[in-house]
Amino acid sequence: MKSFLISDNRDTWVGMKLAGIDGILVRDRENALLAIKETIKNNEIGILILTERVVDMATEEVMELKLKLKTPLIIEIPDRRGTIRESDAITNYIRNSVGIRI
């Protein structure tokens, strides 16, 4: 299985390319959604890597896919400038997806 990156940041895309991970650059919500839909159709992709800003472009759609799909595994990474998430992002993610307060 392969990994694939959808990034809004050229530096992140180049860095992942140097590490052997193919990907695509997107600049807006429409292109992000199109790239995500095309990528999840590819059975060779086992891990879909999205930058935080790409996730922000399509939050509801990405969360729905994370809950529905077994493959590809969808993960979110910061770009080269660091995270834009608050320190308790994982706690909020659990609370929003499961409904449990921890």
Q: 1 falls in which pLDDT band (50, 70, 90)?
A: confident
* Tokens 């807006």 sit on residue: 28
**Whether pLDDT at 85 is above 80:** no
Spatial contact of 6 and 26, defined as CB atoms under 8 Å apart: yes
pLDDT per position as a tens digit, 21-52: 999 999 999 999 999 999 999 999 999 999 98
How many angstroms separate the CA atoms of 28 and 1, rounded?
A: 28
Q: 66 falls in which pLDDT band (50, 70, 90)?
A: confident
CATH number, domain with residue 46: 3.40.50.10580
- Domain ranges, residue 64: 2-98
SS (H, E, C) 31-80: HHHHHHHHHHHCCCEEEEEEEHHHHHHCHHHHHHHHHHCCCCEEEEECEC
Q: What is the per-residue pLDDT for 50? A: 94
**Whether pLDDT at 79 is above 90:** no
**Whether pLDDT at 89 is above 90:** no
